[in-house]
């Protein structure tokens, strides 16, 4: 049986939800953005009115203001976005138990077994689209196809509040003329390399010898060839199938430039505490620590270090982070933002090889202390208790240590 897969994308998700909560701004250019004073000054999302002025996700607030002087910028409220994400998926669940999230605002839904009950994919998609608009007050765009990749292309093809159908009969006419970078997983670097070989459209990828693509991109080249030709057979996951967490990390743009190791030490402790808290909450130990650094000229790089012993302790993550910083950065330029990520996660129940050179009882005591701090913060708030070092600089302590960057194999939080 030919599959019928929907990809549903909430239009201008964050901005639409903000306009729903404050109808007085609905008819004006609106963007969801960070805090200019804290230097989190980028556009996270924008509504259709702002798009007409050329406002783009990821650009600085001052750049957006130059394009649209009357732009209304509101702060993000992620608890609202998570709530609406759950509400939309509750609607989708009435049509299928195969629902695979792709971020807060997108999801694939396999309705193959329900087309006889609800009608063909087009009719079913329009029913869902109308229900979301009527019941939740926001709009969605839906792509309908026989595979996940073309369904995703369909939801991007026509916006807002629209349904697009790509079939085996029409995809060569509709999909192949699209830019190569519209294909899922063709990022900036891959797109640039494709252009260098004279490949600018999805159709040109499809018509390129797969062996040539493999030579240029390795196994990913064969995947691109399959995707462009509509040969994706990956299933839509069942609702409730949680992806195993691959890594947990935090990053922040600091209120002022970091000038030396001591400045970085303060911020790294705040970030490492948040990362460690979430590792313990999810029941993991980390085997690798990764840091990301960006200087004031916006040049950035990442470095990582394999730990001798897996850990869930903030103090040990911090030691590794500082070791990486000292080995890889000479402070020729101040740093504007830094991040810490714990990777190679293993279950906390995994057996561990002890060594004669470490004090196992001391590590147990440290873990008990940090878990006690977790309990205090859950009961009385994150700022109810903290390390003394984080109070030494009044400017640097004004960061958000809860900025979430938990990465799963599928489904991730992203700007929209």
Q: Could you list the active site residues?
A: 106
Strand 72-74 and strand 43-46: the pairing is unpaired
Q: How many angstroms from the chain centroid is the CA of residue 283?
A: 21
249 vs 402: CA distance, rounded Å: 10
Strand 30-33 and strand 72-74: the pairing is parallel
CB 340 within 8 A of CB 272: yes
Sign of CA dihedral 46, 52, 55, 58: positive
For 328, the token pair is: 């890889």
Check residue 407 and report its DSSP letter.
B
Secondary structure E strands in 102-235: 106-110, 140-145, 163-165
Which residues pair with residue 9 across a beta bridge?
A: 106, 141
164 vs 7: CA distance, rounded Å: 10
170 vs 185: CA distance, rounded Å: 22
């Amino acid at each position: 049986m030919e599959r019928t897969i929907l990809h549903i994308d909430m239009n201008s998700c964050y901005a639409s939800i903000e306009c729903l909560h404050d109808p007085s701004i609905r008819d004006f250019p609106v963007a969801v953005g960070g805090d200019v004073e804290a230097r989190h000054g980028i556009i996270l999302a924008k509504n259709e009115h702002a798009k007409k002025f050329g406002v783009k996700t990821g650009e600085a607030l001052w750049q957006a203001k130059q394009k649209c002087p009357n732009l209304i910028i509101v702060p993000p409220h992620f608890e609202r976005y998570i709530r609406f994400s759950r509400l939309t998926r509750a609607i989708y669940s009435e049509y299928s138990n195969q629902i695979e999230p792709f971020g807060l605002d997108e999801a694939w839904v396999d309705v193959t077994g329900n087309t006889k009950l609800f009608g063909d994919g087009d009719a079913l998609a329009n029913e869902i689209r109308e229900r979301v608009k009527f019941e939740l007050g926001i709009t969605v765009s839906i792509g309908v196809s026989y595979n996940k990749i073309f369904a995703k292309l369909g939801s991007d093809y026509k916006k807002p509040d629209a349904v697009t159908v790509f079939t085996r009969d029409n995809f060569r006419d509709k999909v192949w003329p699209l830019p190569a970078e519209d294909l899922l997983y063709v990022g900036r670097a891959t797109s640039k390399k494709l252009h260098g070989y004279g490949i600018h459209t999805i159709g040109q990828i499809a018509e390129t010898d797969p062996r040539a693509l493999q030579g240029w991109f390795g196994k990913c080249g064969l995947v691109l060839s399959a995707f462009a030709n509509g040969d994706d057979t990956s299933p839509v996951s069942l609702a409730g199938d949680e992806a195993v967490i691959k890594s947990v990390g935090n990053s922040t743009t600091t209120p002022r430039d970091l000038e030396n190791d001591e400045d970085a030490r303060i911020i790294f402790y705040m970030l490492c505490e948040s990362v460690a808290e979430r590792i313990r909450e999810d029941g993991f130990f980390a085997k690798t620590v990764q840091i990301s650094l960006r200087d004031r000229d916006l040049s950035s790089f990442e470095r990582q270090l394999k730990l001798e012993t897996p850990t869930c302790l903030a103090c040990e993550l911090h030691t590794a982070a500082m070791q990486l910083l000292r080995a890889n950065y000479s402070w020729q330029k101040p740093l504007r933002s830094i991040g810490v990520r714990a990777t190679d996660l293993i279950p906390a129940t995994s057996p561990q090889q002890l060594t004669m050179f470490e004090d196992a009882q001391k590590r147990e005591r440290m873990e008990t202390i940090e878990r006690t701090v977790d309990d205090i913060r859950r009961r009385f708030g994150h700022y109810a208790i903290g390390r003394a070092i984080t109070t030494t600089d009044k400017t640097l302590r004004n960061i958000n240590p809860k900025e979430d960057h938990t990465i799963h194999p599928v489904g991730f939080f992203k700007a929209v």
